């Protein structure tokens, strides 16, 4: 199993020159202004990892969101910040490939529940593993100290999303 900081850092990239002193944003707004584009680019790059030919990043995002259990179309659209008609198109394509299934709500005939199929579960796991492998390779390029800084920042970054779905 991989560790954050391998003993002796064997297999790491050759020693790089020390990074420049970190920039010190003047305030919260300045920090947000510097952090936002980095997070956007990182998220965009992670979504670019190939999943299955013919299925794009939106398909993978929907499959990933379905990993939390059955969900309605409206809830899925809200979670993915997409319009309901767009989600319906994606779901139809995923359903045609046997990756999701729709089922009626036994107590409300107007409501439809969406779940992943076993094939959808396998594909979502493969996509997650591919993205994790890409990110691990990028982290390996950092120095031991830089990886430690990233690890130390995780709890604070997670708190930024504490109220999100």
pLDDT band at 69 (very low <50, low <70, confident <90, very high): confident
Phi, psi of 101 (to 5 degrees): -135, 150
Domains of the chain are: 54-129 (1.10.10.10)
pLDDT band at 21 (very low <50, low <70, confident <90, very high): low
What does pLDDT average to over the chain? 84
pLDDT band at 24 (very low <50, low <70, confident <90, very high): low
Provide, rounded to the nearest whole percent, the portion of the chain with pLDDT above 70.
81
**CA-angle at 23, arms to 7 and 28, nearest 5°:** 110
In this prediction, residue 52 carries a pLDDT of 65
The DSSP bridge partners found for residue 116 are 100
Q: Is the dihedral of CA 42, 48, 51, 57 positive or negative?
A: positive
Over range 86-102, report the average pLDDT. 94
pLDDT digits (tens, 9 = 90+) for 112-137: 899 999 999 998 888 888 889 999 99
In this prediction, residue 1 carries a pLDDT of 45
DSSP-assigned states of every residue in the chain: ---SS-GGGTTPPPPPPPPPPPP--SSHHHHHHHHHHHHHHHHHHHHTS--BTTB-HHHHHHHHHGGGS-EEHHHHHHHHT--HHHHHHHHHHHHHTTSEEEEEETTEEEEEEEEE-HHHHHHHHHHHHHHHHHHHHHHHTS-HHHHHHHHHHHHHHHHHTTT--
Over range 32-52, report the average pLDDT. 84
In this prediction, residue 91 carries a pLDDT of 94
Residue linked to tokens 């593993």: 129
């Amino acid at each position: 199993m991989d560790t954050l900081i391998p003993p002796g850092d064997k297999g790491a990239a050759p020693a790089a020159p020390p990074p420049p002193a970190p920039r010190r944003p003047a305030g919260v707004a300045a920090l947000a202004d510097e952090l936002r584009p980095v997070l956007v680019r990182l998220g965009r790059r992670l979504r670019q990892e190939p999943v299955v030919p013919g299925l794009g990043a939106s398909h993978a995002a929907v499959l990933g969101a379905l990993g939390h259990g059955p969900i309605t179309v409206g809830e899925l659209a809200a979670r993915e910040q997409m319009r309901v008609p767009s989600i319906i198109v994606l779901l139809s394509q995923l359903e045609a490939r046997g990756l999701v299934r729709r089922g009626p709500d036994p107590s409300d005939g107007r409501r439809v529940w969406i779940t992943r199929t076993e094939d959808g579960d396998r594909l979502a796991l493969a996509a997650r593993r591919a993205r994790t492998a890409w990110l691990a390779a990028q982290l390996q390029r950092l120095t031991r100290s830089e990886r430690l800084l990233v690890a130390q920042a995780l709890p604070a970054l997670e708190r930024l999303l504490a109220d999100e779905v």
